[in-house]
Structure 1
Amino acid sequence: MDRNGVFQRERPRLLAVAFRVLGSEADAQDVVQEAWERYAAADLAEIRNTQAWLTTVVTRLCLDFLRRDREVPRRPEELPAVDGGEDPQEVVALAGELTSAMVVVVEELTPPQRVALILHDVFGVPFEEVARVLDTSPASAKKLASRARGRLRRADAPEDDEPRRARPVVEAFLRAARQGDLDGLVAVLHPDVVRTADPQAVPAGAAQRIRGAREVVAETRALRDNARRARLVTVDGRPGIAVGSRLALVFRVVGGLIVHYDVVADPRRLDLLRIEG
C-alpha cells in the first residue's frame, strides 16, 4: 500500500482521537491535515510502527494546539500523589461515561490530563504508549489519567438517571426512530441534546457533533434504515443501542430526557465496550 493509502486507512481513527482531545471538529481536521504533511515528508525507513507514529504526531499536535492559549501546566513528576490505588472496575465504569461527562468537564482538564484520559480510557492505548506521547514515564501518565478521573467524578453536572429509569427512554427513542415518529423523538430528547460520533459512524462530510433536538431528529429520520436493524442492548451496564457488531450508541439520560448520545464505530473503542443483550 502506498503512503497515501496507509494514511487514509488510519485517518478515521486519527480524526476520532483529535476530535475527542480538542472537542472541535474543524480543529481536528486541521491537526490531521498537518499530520499528513509530516508523514508525507517523513523517512519511512525510520518508522517502525505507522499507527503508533501517527497517533503520537496527532496527539502532540493536539497538545501544542491546546497549550497555545493556556498556561503550560507543571510537569507530571511535580504533581502531588493520588490517594489510593487504581481500581480497575472504577476505571471501566468511568470510561463508559467518559464521552458524556467530558462534554461538561473537558475544559477543566490540563492538556496532558486530557490526552492521558482519552488515549487510555477511551481508545485503550497502554500507558507505556501514552507516556511516550507525553514524553514522561508510565507512572506519571497513570497519575495524569487518575487526576483527570478525579475531576470527572467531582464535575458539577446533573447525575444520570439510573439504568432502570433510563431504559424506557432509550426504548422510546429506538421505537420512534424505527417508525419515523417525530413527536416521539422530540418527547425523549432534551432541547439542547448533543450527538457526537466517530468519523467511521457518519457519512463523509457529515458533522461529528450536532446540537439541538431539531438537528438530531432530522438526522435520525435520514438513518431510519439503520434504526430498523438496531436492537436494544446494555453498554457497560447501561441501556444503549447496537446496529450489528460495528456500531453502538451510548446514551446519557438525565431527568427522563436524552441529553447526549455518542455513536461509537471506531474498532478500538468498540472493543473496550461491554455490550450485552
Structure 2
Amino acid sequence: MNEHERFEANRPRLRAVAYRMLGSATEADDAVQEAWLRLDRAGSEHVDNLDAWLTTVVGRVCLDMLRSRGSRREGLLSEAEPTRTTGPEDEAVLADSVGLALLVVLETLTPAERLAFVLHDLFAVPFDEVAPIVGRSPDAARQLASRARRRVRGHSGPAGHPAGREIVDAFLTASREGDFATLLSLLDPDVLLRVDEQFRDLPTELRGAHDVARFYVGRAHGAFPALIDGALGIRVAPGGDTLLVVTFAITGGRITALEATTNQSHLRDMEILPL
C-alpha cells in the first residue's frame, strides 16, 4: 500500500475527528486536506505509526483553527448538520453520534478542552498522545478532558439512561454469562483495549474483537455501569473499593474502544457515579 492509499484508508477517521473538533464539514475537509499536504511534503519514511501521526497532525491543525476562530461563530451552527455527505461511508463519518446538541455544548469548551475531550473520549487516543498536541503534561491533558466531560454532562440532562447504556448493560451481561457470540457482536472488529498500567492479568493493549471478547468472556463479576467523569463505562469494585474503571467509546452501536484506568491516584481524582 503506497502513501496515498494509506492516507485514504485513514481519511474517514480523520474527517470524523476534524468534524467533531470544528463542527463544520467544510472546515473538517480543509483540516484533512492540510494533513495530506503535510504528509506529502514530509513523507512517511521516518514515521513509525502513520495512523497516530495523522491524528496528531489533524488535531494540531484543528486546534490552530479553533484558536484563530476566536469569538467568531459565523455559520457554525448552520453547518452543524452533515449535509455534504456523498455516500453511506461519509454519512457515517459525519452523522454517527454527532448531533447539533453535542456540537453546541462543545462550543462552550476552550480549544484545548475540546481537543482533549474529542480525541480521548470519542476516539480513545491515550493522554500520552493528547498531551503534546495541547502542549501539556498527560495529567494536565486528563484534567482538560475531565472538565470537558463535566460540562458536556451538565448540558445533557439527566444521566439515568445515557446513550449507549444498553450496550454497556449487554456487554456486562454477556461477559458474566460467558456469552462469547454476544460479546463479539457488541465489539467493533478493530476494537482497541488500553490499560494505563500493568494490573494483574490485564493486558496493557489488546486489539481486535476476537481477542477482546475472549479476554472478557466469563468476567465482569463485581463490575457495574457507571459514569466516569461524565463518560459512560463500568466500575469494578468487588470488595467495595474501586480497583479499576473502564470507559467505552461507542460508534454505530458497537464498542470501538475501551480504556481502563487502574492507577489509584487517577482513580481518586475521578468522579465515579453509579447508574
Structure 1 length-normalised TM = 0.50
Residue-by-residue CA offset, 1:86-143 (whole Å, 9 max, x unaligned):
xxxxxxxxxxxx8566234111000110010111111111100111222221011011
Mapped pair 1:138 → 2:70 = no
Q: How does 1:247-262 map to 2 (within 5 A)?
A: none
Q: Which residue of 2 aligns with 1:270?
A: 256
State the one-letter code of the partner of 2:117.
Answer: L
Aligned-partner Cα distance in 2 for 1:106–1:142: 17
State the one-letter code of the partner of 2:13.
Answer: R
**RCO comparison, higher one (Cα < 8 Å, 6+):** 1
Tell me if structure 2 keeps the 8 A contact 1:246–1:265.
no
Q: 1:32 to 1:265 in 2, by over 3 A?
A: farther
Q: Which residue of 1 aligns with 2:69?
A: 69
Residue-by-residue CA offset, 1:186-209 (whole Å, 9 max, x unaligned):
xxxxxxxxxxxxxxxxxxxxxxxx
Residue-by-residue CA offset, 1:130-161 (whole Å, 9 max, x unaligned):
11222221011011111111212332x5446x
Residue-by-residue CA offset, 1:55-110 (whole Å, 9 max, x unaligned):
01001000111111217xxxxxxxxxxxxxxxxxxxxxxxxxx8566234111000
Secondary structure of 2:105's aligned partner = helix
2:167 to 235, 260, 266: 235
Mapped pair 1:59 → 2:59 = yes
Aligned-partner Cα distance in 1 for 2:128–2:186: 33
Q: Which residue of 2 aligns with 1:115?
A: 115
Q: 1:158 to 1:244 in 2, by over 3 A?
A: closer
State the one-letter code of the partner of 2:154.
Answer: R
State the one-letter code of the partner of 1:236.
Answer: V
Residue-by-residue CA offset, 1:200-247 (whole Å, 9 max, x unaligned):
xxxxxxxxxxxxxxxxxxxxxxxxxxxxxxxxx922349xxxx98659
Q: Which residue of 1 aligns with 2:44?
A: 44
Q: Which residue of 2 aligns with 1:149?
A: 149
Q: 1:244 to 1:124 in 2, by over 3 A?
A: closer
Aligned-partner Cα distance in 2 for 1:245–1:151: 28
Aligned-partner Cα distance in 1 for 2:256–2:27: 24
Aligned-partner Cα distance in 2 for 1:244–1:144: 30
Tell me if structure 1 keeps the 8 A contact 2:15–2:29.
yes
Could you tell me which runs of 5 or more consecutive residues in structure 2 were left unpaired when the two chains were aligned. Answer: 72-96, 171-184, 190-249, 260-275
Aligned-partner Cα distance in 2 for 1:42–1:121: 29
Give the share of equivalent positions with the same residue, in percent.
Answer: 42
Secondary structure of 1:46's aligned partner = coil
Pairs aligned (count)? 162
Tell me if structure 1 keeps the 8 A contact 2:120–2:130.
yes
State the one-letter code of the partner of 2:126.
Answer: P
- The structure that is helix-richer by fraction is 1
Aligned-partner Cα distance in 2 for 1:6–1:66: 27
Aligned-partner Cα distance in 2 for 1:124–1:110: 20
Aligned-partner Cα distance in 2 for 1:266–1:13: 16
Tell me if structure 1 keeps the 8 A contact 2:21–2:118.
yes
CA RMSD after TM alignment: 3.6
Could you tell me which runs of 5 or more consecutive residues in structure 1 were left unpaired when the two chains were aligned. Answer: 72-97, 171-232, 248-262
State the one-letter code of the partner of 1:234.
Answer: E
Tell me if structure 1 keeps the 8 A contact 2:14–2:58.
yes
State the one-letter code of the partner of 1:264.
Answer: T
State the one-letter code of the partner of 1:271.
Answer: A
Aligned-partner Cα distance in 1 for 2:113–2:150: 11
